[in-house]
Amino acid sequence: MFFRQESCKMRNNEYLESTINEVVTSKSNKTRPQKTAPSRLVACLTFLQFAFAIYATFLLYYMSPSVDLRTKPDFTWATKLARSWKKFVIQPQVVSHIRESDACEYETIDFSQKKSNDVLMIKLKRELYNEVLDFQKRTSGSENLAELMRMKSKWSVNGPNIPKITVILNHFKRKTLCAQLNSLLNQTLPFHQIWVLSFGSPNEISFKRIVDSYNDSRISFISSSYDFKYYGRFQMALQTESDFVYILDDDMIPGAKLLQILSHVAGTEKYKNSVLGSIGRILPFRQKDFKFPSYRKFRSKEAGLYLPDPAYDITVDRIVQVDFLSSSWFLSSDLTKTLFVETPFTFITGEDLHLR
């Protein structure tokens, strides 16, 4: 059974081959004496088929939505035909724009931290904070917001030097992208670009949908199935053409004046080489075994500070120098290069510590 089918196919192929041969030879070899009637019919049919194929190709080309008929003056016959046919063809919806309201997802992050009710702990932490603050006021000065804004700065919203800021967001699973984009679009100092990064995220498609829905050429989506981990965003920052980069964790929603304030401070003579942020840590004293004690180490004055810290009612109303920043980093584009002077101990975790 199998063999017979094979041989039958073979015969068909042979037959086709022979008829093609005949067509070819009948064209090239005019001295060929006689043509049989069936072979002429086959030649005719083949020619018609060939002609139709060419015609169909033209037609398809001219009817494709991406071809602008007005710019093609030649082939007017084909154009006319295509035009008349186009009416009958249902155009596929090429641009299906999704509105933000459809693409966006929101989640509220519970920032309410456990409040300590340990009187002694509150006392210890607040004393340590005041000690640090007093020292900084004495040695380098620690301005509050109003004082900072009165300082002379190279940058201003009103010009002549309006800073360009590239904001880099990094998303993995949280549904906070829209909240971030909305607040960034509402800044008193407009951003230059936003790069939304998604490395090895299971929600990549949804992030892309959201970015697309904003239809803003300044907002780009960059994704990879490879997880560049905590360093990826800082590596991307190396390539910005802005004056500043502002790198934000996915749980940080900036207030409307943040870019204006940060760039103003970064433009003062005093803070021009600083990395600015809104959450910081002051490292604890090292123990005898060379380890750092836990921040929550009970009744220890040496366990360092997390600023601001709602657990111990520590608010920060002036600029404070810390050992390292967490959750957001505002720095001049040139400074990003210095992050790579030392080889990181690991890429897996601890970007806060590496980037201090």
Ligand X SMILES: *[C@@H]1O[C@H](CO)[C@@H](O)[C@H](O)[C@H]1NC(C)=O
| Cα–Cα distance for residue pair 75/337, rounded to 1 Å | 58
- We find the least distance from the C-beta atom of residue 94 to ligand X, in angstroms, to be 11
Nearest to 259 by CA among 194, 174, 203, 201: 194
- Asked whether position 287 contacts ligand X by CB under 6 A, the answer is no
- Whichever of 154 and 257 has its CB closer to ligand X, that residue is 257
Contacts with 234 (C-beta within 8 Å, 6 or more apart), sequence order? 247, 336, 339, 340, 351, 355
Angle at 297 between CA 287 and CA 275, to 5 degrees: 75
- Asked whether position 188 contacts ligand X by CB under 6 A, the answer is yes
Q: Which positions from 197 through 216 interact with ligand X, judged by CB under 6 A?
A: 215
- Phi, psi angle pair for 35, to nearest 5°: -115, 140
- Whichever of 95 and 119 has its CB closer to ligand X, that residue is 95
Only one of the segments 86-94, 178-186, 204-212, 309-317 lies at the binding site for ligand X (rule: CB under 6 A); that segment is 178-186
Only one of the segments 8-16, 36-44, 180-188, 299-307 lies at the binding site for ligand X (rule: CB under 6 A); that segment is 180-188
Residue window 58-97: x/- pattern of binding to ligand X, with contact defined by CB under 6 A: ---------------------------------------x
Angle at 167 between CA 163 and CA 173, to 5 degrees: 170
Only one of the segments 19-27, 101-109, 157-165, 181-189 lies at the binding site for ligand X (rule: CB under 6 A); that segment is 181-189
- Whichever of 113 and 215 has its CB closer to ligand X, that residue is 215
Q: Please check whether residue 197 is in contact with residue 170, taking contact to mean a CB–CB distance below 8 angstroms.
A: yes
Letter for the amino acid at 309? D
| Cα–Cα distance for residue pair 114/72, rounded to 1 Å | 71
Q: Please check whether residue 244 is in contact with residue 163, taking contact to mean a CB–CB distance below 8 angstroms.
A: yes
Instruction: Choose which of 39, 116, 182, 223 interacts with ligand X (CB under 6 A).
Output: 182
What does the block give as tokens for 163? 């800073």
Residue window 229-258: x/- pattern of binding to ligand X, with contact defined by CB under 6 A: ---------------------------x--
- Asked whether position 157 contacts ligand X by CB under 6 A, the answer is no
Give residues in contact with ligand X (CB under 6 A).
97, 182-183, 186, 188, 215, 256
